[in-house]
Structure 1
Amino acid sequence: MIKIITKLVLKPVAKAVYRPVIEGLDRVPRKGGVILAINHLSFIDSVVIPLTAPRPISFLAKAEYFTGTGFKGRLSRSFFRAIDAVPVQRGEAHLAQAALNAALEVLKEGRAFGIYPEGTRSLDGRLYRGKTGVAWLALTAGVPVVPVALAGTEKILPVGKRRPRLRKVTVKFGEPLDFSELHGQAGSARARRQVTDEVMRAIQELSGQEPAEVYNEVPKAA
């Protein structure tokens, strides 16, 4: 039921209210496994992509989105389950690999999977160095990678704010990147780095963000 409501009600209403500028929808393959590699600016990114993409997208989402309490927690959990999000615990390598394995199964089923190579949101607007999970998926599954650039989502729901604002949002889908010549080399750190850097360059060309050249680490709790 939640999936039907999301598709038939939430999606058209959100588009009518926010009127997002969407470019390159025709660049996203309509069939078969494909990875959408997206820059990450706001929590709301994980809502914008499923509502604007031309086909259903599954993606990794923080485990906290599935464990909240009260009405807000139930609403968050229901939404992320409705869009087939895969929960991931951050900061522990074996848990992250388990999440990538789950993502791999999505791709093997011929579905689309979205991932944020930066790992966490950029709080200063720069594009941070990509982590190589996106390359591992592409090289293991043998699927194309579509770079995606978001702009303006950080203004809809700024850090520390609970109520979304009406702001202009732009979503740009780039040309699919084909790494078939490296298929099967997921075990090579050099190949993973090469693929990841190419994906991040494509995202940067679409977004126009300043490259940070370093990883965006999750702030440590005091």
Structure 2
Amino acid sequence: MEDWQYKPAGDHGLKPEESLRSLRREAGLGATITQSAWRLAVRAYLRGYHRLRVEGVENVPASPSFVMVANHSSHLDAITLAAALPWPLRRFAFPIAAGDVFFETPAVALFSAMMLNALPMWRKSCGPHAMQQLRERLISEPTIYVLFPEGTRSRDGNLGRFKPGLGMIVAGSEVPVVPCYLHGAHAACPADRKLPRPLPLHLRIGAPLQFSAIKNERAGWQEIAAQLEAAVTALRDRAPFSGGPQS
């Protein structure tokens, strides 16, 4: 058995405003409490207001690390995927959010970090260094990323092309990637709407995929994107969606 070692938090020494935007941010006691309350409220909201139905929970890995990917057409997407995780896993979940939307101002950054537990991805300045930081954290410690490979919300609800950036995080690793498809989020809360409509949501969770045999290079990243896009498309097309809540 390895000797226990003390390791400082990944964001140790950073100023509060820097910690909120850090990819190494760890939740302290205050964030843990607020996030737990937020998760309970979100689950009640999704079940009551949107009659959320979740299919395929058995496909979620029993323990971290892993990545959940899905189609993206609404601000409801990230909170729905995170809420679908079994309760013991939710504290490990980090939605990857657009930094220019969710971390642009101090107030919004505080909400995104303290409630959503989101990590920022700056779309205009995201480079290999950021992907490498995400990869290192995913491989070295229990972590769950909630990620949308389309890169932005669909304006018409249709599934867009998956970008290869995710491949930089998982190629050549044993970290599983769980494909998901969320139906109804665009109708309930499209990009041009501020308040959601009380319409049903149906989340399908597919079997995990692994890319340990794919090289961590551009061709491999593109192959991973294509495989995951096909997996999410298959979930969309598998059978008609139905309403009604399911535990």
TM-score interval (norm. to shorter): 0.7 to 0.9
Query: What is the match of residue 39 of structure 2?
Result: 7
Query: What is the match of residue 220 of structure 1?
Result: none
Pairing of 1:58-137 with structure 2 (within 5 A)? 58-63=94-99, 64-68=101-105, 73-74=107-108, 77-94=110-127, 97-108=128-139, 109-137=141-169
1:34 to 66, 89, 92: 66
Instruction: Indicate conservation of the 8 Å contact 2:149/2:163, yes or no.
Output: yes
Letter in 2 for 1:101: Q
Letter in 2 for 1:67: E
Pairing of 1:172-183 with structure 2 (within 5 A)? 172-182=204-214
Q: Could you say which structure has the larger radius of gyration?
A: 2
Mark the runs of 5 or more structure 1 residues left unpaired by the alignment. 210-222
Letter in 2 for 1:100: M
Letter in 2 for 1:132: P
Letter in 2 for 1:89: W
1:193 aligns with 2:222: yes
1:138 to 161, 170, 189: 170
Structure 1: how far apart are the matches of 2:110 and 2:189? 19
Secondary structure of the corresponding residue to residue 180 of structure 1: coil
Letter in 1 for 2:177: V
Structure 2: how far apart are the matches of 1:141 and 1:59? 20
Give CA-to-partner distance per residue, 1:120-167, whole Å, 9 cap, x none.
111122222211111121115431111010111112212222111101
Moved over 6 A (4+): none
Secondary structure of the corresponding residue to residue 146 of structure 1: strand
Query: What is the match of residue 150 of structure 1?
Result: 182
Give CA-to-partner distance per residue, 1:87-116, whole Å, 9 cap, x none.
12112342xx34323422441212211111
> CA, structure 1 residues 118+168, in 2 after alignment: closer, same or farther (shift >3 Å)?
same
Secondary structure of the corresponding residue to residue 78 of structure 2: helix
Identity fraction in percent: 25
Structure 1: how far apart are the matches of 2:204 and 2:195? 25
Instruction: Indicate conservation of the 8 Å contact 2:182/2:204, yes or no.
Output: yes
TM-score normalised by the chain length of structure 2: 0.73
TM-score normalised by the chain length of structure 1: 0.81
Structure 1: how far apart are the matches of 2:116 and 2:207? 24
Query: What is the match of residue 208 of structure 1?
Result: 237
Instruction: Indicate conservation of the 8 Å contact 2:78/2:146, yes or no.
Output: no
Secondary structure of the corresponding residue to residue 152 of structure 2: coil
Letter in 1 for 2:98: K
> CA, structure 1 residues 136+122, in 2 after alignment: closer, same or farther (shift >3 Å)?
same
Instruction: Indicate conservation of the 8 Å contact 2:73/2:191, yes or no.
Output: no
Structure 2: how far apart are the matches of 1:28 and 1:98? 29
Number of residues of Structure 1 aligned to a counterpart in Structure 2:
200
What is the RMSD computed on CA atoms of the aligned residues?
A: 2.2
